[in-house]
Amino acid sequence: MLLPTDLETARRLSVAPMLDWTDRHCRYFHRLLSKNVLLYTEMVNVNAILHGDAHRHLDFNAAEHPIVLQLGGSEPDLLARCAKIAKNWGYDEVNINCGCPSERVQSGAFGACLMHEPHLVADAVKAMRDAADIEVSVKHRIGLDKNQDYDFVRDFVGVLAQAGVRVFVVHARNAWLKGLSPKENRDIPPLRYEVVHRLKQDFPDLHISLNGGIKDYSTIEQALNYVDGAMVGRWFYHEPFVLAQADARIFGNDHTLEVSRESVLEQLVEYAQSQIEQGVPLRNMTRHWLNLFHGVAGARRWRAQLSDAQLLKKNDAHLLLCNLPRDFSEVGDE
């Protein structure tokens, strides 16, 4: 088996943090598909860690390394305490969410609205770095509302770089804080990759990853001509098997080592069995695995059974092996 790759290499390609989607079962699945990509947790609110069920929010499988914990919060002391907890929990990095535009997040004074307060984020970063020996990265947008002024994002990055942030993940869209739902905010504000390229030119010593709207490997490869890494969210979630090409295409591994759907499935059954023994309901896991056969003829029945509440209630991991598409390689419209 290949060893998990190091953090710096992994940054070339990451799977985006996605609330309700990239939980530990989803990440374990993604790790089976690629040994090298960097995985992110969903955003976890600092108060959920400090006052809620920390194990539920933070536990992960050792196979998931390298893994980044994304935090939602703005108060330096709370973020610092969470950075220390993250380090002790074994996370490789913590990331501050400065890109999420949802109302709920705004009222908690974190997410994209923090781009208006770079000095507060800088104070938080300093407190986190003082509290724990762990990389603190930032995920953000290229601007807020209709402001297309490049200086705004350049100054945001500049202030944080002064505070010691070395790694930035930039969703190449503005966040419109009023009038759009979070979902609309991932589609409607126009993508402007050139702004992210310019950040890399202006801050050559920083790691800059580009995020937003990537749906094929050639876009990733092109992005890597300008910046240090690419982050992909929805494409990898909806068509997870494309991740199986990442190790060869992006990390230079031998393509004959590429995993097959069969081997992934076998490992998922094993994983699901052990999770069920620990009390995790099968349905909590399978919901993230439904797209394994995306695009394969005959996959509909397989997917339907894994969404069937009655069948899932039996908590039998072998359900994953029933009604498999006859020929995994036969691509069709299902």
- Residues with a known catalytic role: 100
Half-sphere exposure of 202 (CA within 13 A, CB side): 15
**Choices 15-23, 123-131, 153-161, 291-299 (CB under 6 A): range interacting with ligand FMN:** 15-23
Residue 100 lies near ligand FMN (rule: CB under 6 A):
yes
Instruction: Tell me whether residue 224 or residue 276 sits nearer to ligand FMN (CB atom).
Output: 224
Instruction: Give the nearest residue (CB) to ligand FMN.
Output: 233
What is the size of the binding site for ligand FMN (CB under 6 A)? Answer: 22
Report the residue from 10, 16, 33, 71 that binds ligand FMN according to the rule CB under 6 A. Answer: 16
Output the smallest distance, CB 159 to ligand FMN, in A: 20
Report the residue from 13, 18, 121, 292 that binds ligand FMN according to the rule CB under 6 A. Answer: 18
The 3-state secondary structure of the chain, one letter per residue:
CCCCCCHHHHCCEEECCCCCCCCHHHHHHHHHHCCCCEEEEEEEEHHHHHHCCHHHHHCCCHHHCCEEEEEECCCHHHHHHHHHHHHHHCCCEEEEEECCCCHHHHHCCCCHHHHHCHHHHHHHHHHHHHHCCCEEEEEEEEEECCCCCHHHHHHHHHHHHHCCCCEEEEEEEEECCCCCCCCHHHCCCCCCHHHHHHHHHHCCCCEEEEECCCCCHHHHHHHCCCCCEEEECHHHHHCHHHHHHHHHHCCCCCHHHCCCHHHHHHHHHHHHHHHHHCCCCHHHHHCCCHHHHCCECCHHHHHHHCCCHHHHHCCCHHHHHCCCCCCCCCECCC
**Choices 83-91, 97-105, 160-168, 254-262 (CB under 6 A): range interacting with ligand FMN:** 97-105
Pattern 129-168, ligand FMN, x by CB under 6 A: ----------x-----------------------------
Report the residue from 8, 9, 19, 224 that binds ligand FMN according to the rule CB under 6 A. Answer: 19
Half-sphere exposure of 19 (CA within 13 A, CB side): 14
Report the residue from 4, 7, 9, 21 that binds ligand FMN according to the rule CB under 6 A. Answer: 21
Output the smallest distance, CB 72 to ligand FMN, in A: 7
Output the smallest distance, CB 330 to ligand FMN, in A: 28
Residue 170 lies near ligand FMN (rule: CB under 6 A):
no
Residue 102 lies near ligand FMN (rule: CB under 6 A):
no
Output the smallest distance, CB 21 to ligand FMN, in A: 5
Residues 196-255 that bind ligand FMN (CB under 6 A): 211-214, 232-235
Output the smallest distance, CB 171 to ligand FMN, in A: 4
d(CA 244, CA 291): 13
Output the smallest distance, CB 146 to ligand FMN, in A: 19
d(CA 298, CA 334): 5
Residues 27-86 that bind ligand FMN (CB under 6 A): 42-43, 70
| Residues in the chain, overall count | 334
Residue 171 lies near ligand FMN (rule: CB under 6 A):
yes
Residues that bind ligand FMN (CB under 6 A): 16-19, 21, 42-43, 70, 97, 99-100, 139, 171, 186, 211-214, 232-235
